[in-house]
């Protein structure tokens, strides 16, 4: 059983000790909130060592991860305001989604990461959500990841830029159509004539001529038509070349990957497979879906997928395992083919796994 200790206060700041044992949980009443609270700010000071010396947090970040009373996983993102990071002082804002389900958090901890986004310390904490008398329930507690919200804002901007490029391309094709229209007008002017043609004779038409009904020409030659054909071919080739760089499949469905940790192949005919799509310029989407086997006796497992392509922790990754109590949290390494996944699934059984990575060419 974990040891439960009360949080200490130092100069009106809650003390977070990075050197407590892994089976120690710090109870922090200041984090308790009513259902519907949003933006609760808790002042902290990060310390380390037996003498609780202030920890230098420069170049580091901190976030909050928890599983609420209803079993929904919450990840805050970096929702803190630095006060004096050199001595570990910061004000942490707890997002409103942490105060949806009434009751004690099943598990909660602060994660401290270094400049490479690697977790270097975790601090177990305990807090509760109290029923709010004036809270209007809008539905069940939801899974939340603050980092995904931040990444999606950037993706929306990329999509907007892509739409603008397509509009510019279409504008260019309109210019090509205007050129073609001018060439047709020139051709019509060239075949006008002022003489009456004779059947079977060689006729030169210089005046205005009007043809009513169907006109059949077995062999039509004209420099204007040749020029029009060349211009149309150039316009089509230019448009085809542009569109070929907008959306293409770089790699169809492939199983050229390696699984590690608690994951292994299902070998049931529906094994997990990957596909890579090129969207625009250097932007790509990697999609994965299929069955995997979870081979572990623990509820919370660590695993790896070694991809056939290089990705980076500056990219965005989302994953989901299809089990009613399961989840999958992907973590990208720096400029690597390795994808780490923390997951919870039914043990020693086959589960369906989905993966989405938005990345750039490397």
Residue 263, Cβ density class (10 Å: 0-12 exposed, 13-18 middle, ≥19 buried): buried
Least confident of 138-147, 175-184, 198-207, 336-345: 175-184
Mean pLDDT of 214-218: 76
Tens of pLDDT, residue by residue over 100-117, are: 999 999 999 999 999 999
pLDDT category at 145 given cuts 50, 70, 90 is confident
pLDDT category at 74 given cuts 50, 70, 90 is very high
Tens of pLDDT, residue by residue over 130-143, are: 997 665 555 667 77
User: 231-239, long-range: CB within 8 Å, 24+ apart, which pairs?
Assistant: 231/176, 231/179, 231/180, 231/183, 232/180, 234/176, 235/173, 235/176, 235/177, 235/179, 235/180, 238/172, 238/176, 239/169, 239/172, 239/173, 239/176
Dihedral angle computed from the Cα positions of residues 231, 233, 236 and 242, in that order, rounded to the nearest 10 degrees? -90
Write down the pLDDT at residue 244: 57
HSE toward the beta carbon, residue 46, CA cutoff 13 A: 27
Write down the pLDDT at residue 195: 46
Least confident of 14-28, 229-243, 282-296, 312-326: 229-243
State the DSSP string of 124-188: EEE-EEEPPTT----SS---EEHHHHHHHHHHHHHHHHHHHHHHHHHHHHHHHHHHHHHHHHHHH
**Angle between the N-to-C axes of helices 223-244 and 146-190, in degrees from 0 to 180, rounded to the nearest 10:** 180
Please state, rounded to an integer, the average pLDDT across all residues of the chain: 83
What would the two tokens of residue 111 be?
A: 């994660």
Tens of pLDDT, residue by residue over 84-101, are: 999 999 999 999 999 999
Tens of pLDDT, residue by residue over 244-263, are: 555 566 667 999 999 999 89
Beta bridge mates, 317: 357
Tens of pLDDT, residue by residue over 331-350, are: 999 999 999 998 876 677 88
Contact status, residue 320 vs residue 310, Cβ threshold 8 Å: no
Least confident of 42-51, 108-117, 291-300, 306-315: 291-300
**225 has pLDDT over 50:** yes
- Quote the CA–CA distance of 299 and 167 in Å, as a whole number: 50
Contacting residues for 291 by C-beta, under 8 A, at least 6 apart: 266, 268, 270, 271, 272, 350, 351, 352, 353
Which among 272, 265, 237, 254 has a CA at the least distance from the CA of 353?
272
């Amino acid at each position: 059983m974990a040891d439960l200790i009360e949080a200490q206060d130092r100069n009106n700041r809650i003390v977070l000790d990075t050197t407590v044992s892994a089976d120690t949980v710090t109870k922090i009443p200041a984090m308790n909130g009513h259902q519907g609270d949003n933006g609760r700010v808790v002042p902290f000071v990060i310390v380390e060592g037996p003498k609780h010396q202030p920890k230098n947090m420069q170049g580091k970040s901190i976030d909050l991860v928890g599983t609420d009373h209803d079993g929904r996983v919450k990840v805050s993102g970096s929702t803190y305001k630095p006060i004096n990071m050199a001595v570990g002082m910061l004000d942490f804002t707890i997002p409103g989604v942490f105060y949806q389900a009434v009751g004690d958090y099943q598990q909660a901890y602060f994660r401290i990461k270094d400049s490479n986004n690697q977790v270097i310390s975790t601090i177990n904490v305990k807090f509760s959500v109290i029923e709010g008398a004036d809270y209007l329930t809008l539905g069940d507690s939801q899974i939340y990841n603050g980092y995904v919200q931040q990444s999606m804002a950037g993706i929306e901007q990329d999509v907007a830029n892509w739409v603008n490029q397509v509009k510019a391309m279409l504008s260019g094709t309109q210019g090509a159509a205007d050129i073609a229209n001018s060439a047709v007008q020139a051709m019509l002017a060239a075949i006008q004539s002022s003489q009456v043609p004779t059947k079977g004779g060689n006729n030169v038409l210089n005046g205005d001529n009007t043809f009513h009904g169907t006109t059949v020409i077995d062999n039509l030659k004209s420099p204007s038509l040749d020029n029009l054909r060349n211009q149309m071919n150039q316009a089509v080739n230019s448009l085809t070349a542009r569109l070929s760089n907008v959306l293409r499949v770089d790699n169809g469905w492939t199983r050229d990957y390696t699984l590690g940790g608690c994951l292994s192949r299902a070998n049931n005919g529906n094994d997990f497979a990957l596909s890579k799509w090129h969207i625009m310029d250097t932007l790509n989407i990697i999609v994965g879906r299929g069955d995997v086997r979870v081979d572990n006796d623990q509820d919370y497992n660590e695993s790896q997928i070694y991809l056939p392509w290089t990705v980076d922790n500056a990219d965005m990754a989302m994953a989901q395992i299809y089990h009613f109590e399961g989840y999958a949290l992907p973590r990208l390494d720096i400029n690597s083919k390795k994808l780490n996944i923390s997951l919870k699934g039914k043990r020693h059984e086959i589960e369906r796994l989905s993966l989405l990575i938005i990345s750039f060419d490397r």
